[in-house]
């Protein structure tokens, strides 16, 4: 498979994710006058810092994908992990990115008007358990993890691997704060949801997983 196909597909997947997020934001703005974009209250220092770290990692991941498309020789020349890249590994990375994108878009669509880029502590929290959330509590986070590591496998560069690791760490920390907020605000209702739906994978169980 030509390298250009990998690069173009990666860029198109980024565009699809962006369209889903910004399209949702536009619909929310039209219907409610509010935006899904925001950061947590700066007075909640730990949560605020984790969110800033997370969004910096997301920005770096997007930048890696765009840079790889526009200047394909730059990253491999500066920080290569494999030279030339393994096509088999790139195919694996592309599959991860495709699945990740489907999960992210499915998560945004399932949330609909409830989609937010961060926890809104002052807002009444509504638990969404329909759509893809019937099977996974964090489909957007899982999709982002798959996309981050998929980009690392596609480019096979140290820069992309480092960004994927940062994205992974930021994502897991963010999930901790989000789930803590849901447990505190929704109590037994959220605990019951956790008991039947896994954090990332479909499951049946008796605890929050």
- Structural domain includes residue 119: yes
For residues 200 and 168, give the distance between their C-alpha atoms in angstroms, rounded to a whole number: 13
| pLDDT at residue number 208 | 40
- Count other C-beta atoms under 10 Å from residue 59's C-beta: 11
Kindly report the CATH number assigned to the domain that includes residue 183: 1.20.120.1630
Give the contacts of 57 (CB within 8 A, at least 6 positions apart): 163, 166, 167, 169, 170, 171
The answer to whether residue 206 sits within a structural domain is no
Torsion on CA atoms 176, 51, 47, 39, rounded to nearest 10: -120
| Number of alpha helices (DSSP H) and beta strands (DSSP E) in the chain | 7, 0
What are the tokens at 153? 């496998």
The answer, as to whether pTM is greater than 0.85, is yes
24 in any annotated domain: yes
pLDDT tens-digit map of 124-182: 778 999 999 999 999 999 999 999 999 999 999 999 999 999 999 999 999 999 999 89
Total number of domains constituting the chain: 1
29 falls within a domain: yes
Residue numbers of the domain that contains 127: 3-196
**Residue 63 domain-assigned?**
yes
Segment (H or E) for 186? helix 158-186
Rounded to the nearest integer, the mean pLDDT of the chain is 89
Contacts of 138 (CB under 8 A, 6+ apart): 175, 199, 200
In a domain, 204, yes or no: no
Whether residue 208 lies inside any domain: the answer is no
Confidence band of 120 (pLDDT split at 50, 70, 90)? confident
Query: Distance (Å, rounded) from C-alpha 41 to C-alpha 16?
Result: 29
Let me know if residue 201 belongs to a domain. Answer: no
């Amino acid at each position: 498979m030509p390298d250009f196909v990998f690069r173009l597909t990666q860029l198109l997947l980024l565009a699809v994710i962006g369209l889903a997020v910004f399209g949702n934001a536009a619909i929310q703005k039209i219907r409610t006058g509010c935006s899904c974009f925001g950061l947590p209250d700066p007075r909640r220092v730990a949560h605020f810092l984790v969110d800033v770290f997370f969004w910096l990692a997301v920005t770096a991941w997007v930048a890696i994908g765009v840079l790889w498309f526009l200047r394909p020789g730059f990253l491999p020349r500066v920080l290569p992990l494999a030279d030339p890249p393994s096509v088999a590994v790139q195919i694996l990375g592309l599959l991860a990115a495709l699945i990740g994108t489907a999960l992210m878009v499915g998560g945004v669509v399932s949330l609909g008007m409830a989609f937010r880029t961060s926890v809104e502590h002052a807002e009444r929290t509504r638990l969404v358990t329909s759509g893809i959330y019937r099977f996974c509590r964090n489909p957007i986070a899982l999709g982002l993890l798959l996309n981050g590591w998929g980009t690392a496998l596609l480019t096979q560069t140290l820069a992309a691997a480092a960004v994927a690791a940062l994205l992974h760490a930021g994502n897991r920390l963010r999930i901790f704060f989000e789930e803590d907020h849901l447990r505190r605000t929704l109590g037994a209702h959220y605990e019951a949801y956790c008991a039947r739906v896994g954090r990332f994978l479909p499951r049946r169980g008796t605890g929050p997983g």
